[in-house]
Structure 1
Amino acid sequence: MELQIKDLSKTYSNGVHALKNVSLNIPQGMFGLLGPNGAGKSSLMRTLATLQQADSGSIMLDDIDILKDKGRVREILGYLPQEFGVYPKISSYNMLNHIASLKGISNKDERKDLVESLLNKTNLWDVRNKSLGTYSGGMKQRFGIAQALIGEPKLIVVDEPTAGLDPAERVRFHNLLSEIGENTIVILSTHIVDDVSNLCNNMAIICLGEVVAQGKPSALIENVKGKVWKKTIDKSEIENYKQEMQVISTHLKSGDTVIHVLNDSQPDSSFEACEADLEDVYFAEISSRMDTALA
């Protein structure tokens, strides 16, 4: 199974050009869509989830036309939006049972087996009878995945699923997503580089509505290997360095400011080489585009 997105564009009524000729081929497994806030990630996710119509372009999931056959898409879609509400006084067990019924699982025993399986898979069995309003952020996210898995979806879209989770909950969520991604297409939309680095075999970077890079994380890192240099500077010097070279990121380390610069060769003897990672790729791709947009 493969998801093919071709020349997808979307402009909102306020004039915001959210998607600009986006083209992606997404195979089975975990696919990371990485980009800053406002890059167009949620616009793409809502379009895939049939919640809004694109202005132009096409999206095919094998033989299913996502933009035209919304009913058929919804039968095989699991969706966890960036923000979703829960009925605070209903238990997760009863809510999942209700959603399963709405999705057409009419057999009571079949529905019971499914709900119990999902609660166990998402590690919510012990709190199945507690009201959703008492759940922590991580528990609500795991409930969100449980409801998205009802009906054995072939395409799962999760939008910023780990934002706001503590480290332990992020690990649990990563393990859950990794397991799900073995048998379906899972699109993980996020601005957290580590989520993509830890989970995804394929990815794309989107910025200002455009796909600026795509491929395997290892191959994208290889493209900047030997071109990333670092230096510890005084914070007041940052703007001077930005004017003279391509500063892709700044970090604080033990109170000091460390800059990463993209250059084919060592800028000068005060810089030292550093091993490139996916964060360097991400910032290298978006830094110049964001600077141009703000100019």
Structure 2
Amino acid sequence: MSELIISKLSKTYPNGIKALQDISLEIPKGMFGLLGPNGAGKSTLMRTIATLQEADQGTITLGGIDVLRQKNEIRKILGYLPQQFGLYPRISAETLLNHLAVLKGITNRSARKEMVDALLNKTNLYEVRKQNLSGYSGGMKQRFGIAQALLNNPQLLIVDEPTAGLDPVERNRFYNLLSEVGEDTVVILSTHIVDDVKELCNQMAIINQGQVLLKGNPIAIIKELEGMVYQKSIEKQELVQYRQEYQVLSERLFLGKPIIHIVSNQHPNNGFTAVEAALEDVYFSKINY
């Protein structure tokens, strides 16, 4: 299986927003995390790879396929779960999946039934396959979305913000499903949830304002901040002062009081304690500065 290679990809919208600025990435087989805040350009990149949007310049290739020019060829081996997708509410999962399989060219009835049943089992929806989609929870709908994305046994799978709004149980179920798929497929997971990438991906990139800020293996990336992250519990009114004095990565509330993480080349003393660096610290160090 070949890598997906993105080279010098750029896109500027008519309103002047530079959604993608000279993006270059090499994405191997397995799970690849694309991490960034809302509005970073992730969805624009995903839609461009999925042949739903044109780029201004640059190239995307998968093996011998020129993704931007051979759209029909890439669509045959592409699975796509967008951030928001519509479902027919008054139809069962089994019926809709069967219909989508026909649209994807799976015309042999017995082969189609075998594939639909296998995907319903894989996504843990077989027991509720006769139920109308209007009765599905958010997590069940997301799992149905993955089922339809896998119908053509894709070589490239794109999932855009798949776990937003899912409860922890559904999220773990989704993680396990994606990990299984990622064993022999190029899977791009676009998200703003750091844990998604930390749990699932061997390779990742951080993107913001249409630019790649960092790329590599999450564990190796975390090591770059090792011994440089410190935390302290402060009063709310002190936050502005600390932001002026230190490179504050993040703050969170614990028992009503802010706990801040800072990055520093040497121990800042002043009540700070050293903590183990996490992917979230790396993320905020790149996004905020």
TM-score bucket of the superposed structures, by smaller chain: over 0.9
Give me the whole-angstrom Cα distance separating, in 2, the residues matched to 1:243 and 1:43: 35
Shift of 1:89: 0.6
Q: Which residue is 1:248 aligned to?
A: 249
Partner of 1:192: 193
| Structure 2 residue aligned with 1:257 | 258
Tell me how far 1:276 sits from its aligned partner. 0.3
Cα deviation, residue 269, structure 1: 3.6
Aligned sequence identity (%): 60
What is the CA RMSD across the aligned residues, in angstroms?
A: 0.7
Specify the SS of the correspondent of 1:52: coil
Partner of 2:132: 131
Q: Give the corresponding residue for 1:95.
A: 96
Secondary structure of the residue aligned to 1:224 is coil
Which residue in 2 is equivalent to 1:51? 52
Does structure 1 residue 175 correspond to structure 2 residue 184? no
The separation in 2 between residues aligned to 1:285 and 1:65, in whole angstroms, is 32
Normalising by structure 2, report the TM-score: 0.98
Aligned to 1:293: none
1:18 and 1:266 map into 2 onto residues whose CA distance is 38
Q: Note the C-alpha offset of 1:133.
A: 1.1
Q: Secondary structure at the match of 2:259?
A: strand
Compute the displacement of 1:238 (Å). Answer: 1.0
- Deviation of the 1:137 alpha carbon: 0.3
Which residue of structure 2 lines up, in the alignment, with residue 23 of structure 1?
24
SS at match of 2:224: helix
Cα offsets for 1:3-60 (capped at 9, x unmatched)? 1111111111111111111111100000000000111110100001100000011111
CA distance in 1, matches of 2:166, 2:92: 21
CA distance in 1, matches of 2:205, 2:55: 20
Residue equivalent to 1:144? 145
Measured against aligned partners, the alpha-carbon deviations of 1:155-208 in whole angstroms (never above 9, x if no partner) come to 000000000001110010000000000010000000101110000011000011
Distance in 2 of aligned mates of 1:262 and 1:63: 44
Aligned to 1:114, what secondary structure does the other structure show? helix
CA distance in 1, matches of 2:120, 2:286: 40
Distance (whole Å) between structure 2 residues aligned to residue 263 and residue 65 of structure 1: 45
Question: Cα distance, 1:285 vs. partner?
Answer: 0.7
Query: With structure 1 as the length reference, what TM-score do the two structures score?
Result: 0.97
Give the letter aligned to residue 180 of structure 1.
V
CA distance in 2, matches of 1:152, 1:103: 11
Matching residue of 1:292:
none
Query: SS in structure 1 opposite 2:111?
Result: helix
2:152 maps to 1:116? no
Alpha-carbon shift at residue 268 of structure 1 (Å): 2.5
1:62 aligns to what? Answer: 63
Distance 1:23 1:235 in 2: 41
Gaps of 5+ in 2: none
SS of 2:204's equivalent in the other structure is strand
- 2:280 paired with 1:279: yes
Report the Cα distance in structure 1 between the residues aligned to 2:155 and 2:43, rounded to whole angstroms: 20
Separation in structure 1 between the aligned mates of residue 191 and residue 220 of structure 2, nearest angstrom: 20
Query: CA deviation digits over 1:233-283, x for unaligned, max 9?
Result: 111111111112210100111221111111111122411111001011101
- The one-letter code of the counterpart of 2:101 is A
Matched, 1:231 2:241: no
- Using the alignment, how far apart are the partners of 1:205 and 1:24 within structure 2? 11
Write out the 4+ residue segments of structure 1 that deviate beyond 4 Å after TM superposition: none
Q: Which amino acid aligns with 1:216?
A: N
Distance 1:244 1:19 in 2: 33
Distance 1:59 1:161 in 2: 23
Secondary structure at the aligned position of 1:4 is classed as strand
| Match status 1:267 vs 2:268 | yes
Amino acid of the residue matched to residue 35 of structure 1?
G
Whole-Å separation in 1 of the counterparts to 2:129 and 2:194: 32
Partner of 2:8: 7
**What letter matches 2:288 in structure 1?**
S
CA distance in 2, matches of 1:277, 1:245: 18
1:128 Cα deviation (Å)? 0.3
